[in-house]
Amino acid sequence: MAQLTYREAVAAAMAQEMRRDPNVVFLGEDIAAAGGVFKTSVGLLEEFGADRVRDTPISEQAILGATMGAAMTGLRPIAEIMFSDFFAVCWDIVANEMAKTRYMTDGQVTLPLVIRSGNGGGSRFGAQHSQAVENWAMAVPGLKVVAPALPGDVKGLLAAAIRDPDPVLFFEQKSLYATKGEVPDGEYVIELGKANVLRSGTDVTIVALALMVPRALKAAEQLEAEHGISATVVDLRSLVPLDTQTILAEVAKTGRMVTVEENPRLCGWGAEVSSIVAEELFWDLDGPIVRVTTPHIPLAAADSMEDAMLPNADRIVQAVRQLVD
């Protein structure tokens, strides 16, 4: 096992798949000689050359148009949209073209492509560069949506996404890029749509994604040490496919669920998970489902305001205590 940062795991996954398959290519702004604005592609140009690691103009529409064409004609492209907020300027290609091509051609044309993007807040980039937009993607049929929290999962899930026959949006939480963790050596792939139970407890199940996973784990430790409350923590890892079996099994064990999401509250993924649990486990629940979210307002750039808006361990602890006590 190697100790890699989250950003190094991104590069490791792409290198693994580019070595394995000569049809894997990579497109985006400043990804080649610069190694990516978040330094997630350092070394790829030197190893694979300018034919397979290509800088593009500053045009998200051009990047994704080229990516879609490449996928339609036999390549397996990876595209980088620098900030996930910028999906707003190329959403037609994603939601109306990529997501529907396989369906509208009756399977004659598949699009094995990945769009990677820096997602979410916590890095003081302001309202136009800090949105968590995975719920935008989750709402579009035909897209797979992945958002890892741990460096090992970054490598395994990105490799699986690159091998997938359908479009995958791969959201990398910007505030996690510097975090370190164990990453398996050699070829490593994690099946999409499998949640990970990071901690088992008896009193409440906390369901989290991306940046909220380490915060949920911290909250679980505080709950155990300070309040005697035993919490399970489930890292969803992907929203589409969604591992409903693991969610339902873990909530059934504890009888209580708290979802923790970075999305604004209105139409966040926690609402969908809550709906599924309420329908399937109503008689197993010992209390109401609780959602911890960001308020439905643009994210602030000021340090203290951004920190106050994003869910943190203290807010999770408070929510759990109100549910359990």
Catalytic residues: 129
* Distance from C-alpha of 29 to C-alpha of 32, rounded to nearest angstrom: 8
* Distance from C-alpha of 123 to C-alpha of 111, rounded to nearest angstrom: 33
* Distance from C-alpha of 223 to C-alpha of 61, rounded to nearest angstrom: 46
CB atoms within 10 A of CB 106: 7
* Distance from C-alpha of 298 to C-alpha of 204, rounded to nearest angstrom: 31
Beta bridge partners of 2: 183
Q: Is the peptide bond before 241 cis (omega within 30 degrees of 0)?
A: yes
- Say if residues 311 and 262 touch (Cβ distance below 8 Å): yes
3-state secondary structure of 268: coil
Cβ within 8 Å of residue 198, ≥6 positions away: 213, 217, 233, 234, 235
- Say if residues 115 and 64 touch (Cβ distance below 8 Å): yes
The Cβ-side half-sphere exposure at 149, using a 13 Å CA radius, reads 24
Helices (H), ranges, 27-180: 44-48, 60-72, 91, 101-104, 134-138, 151-163
Amino acid at 198: L
234 backbone dihedrals φ, ψ, rounded to 5°: -110, 120
145 backbone dihedrals φ, ψ, rounded to 5°: -130, 120
Nearest to 177 by CA among 316, 318, 39, 27: 39
Determine the distance from the C-alpha atom of residue 258 to the mean position of all C-alpha atoms in its chain, rounded to a whole number. 19
CB atoms within 10 A of CB 1: 9
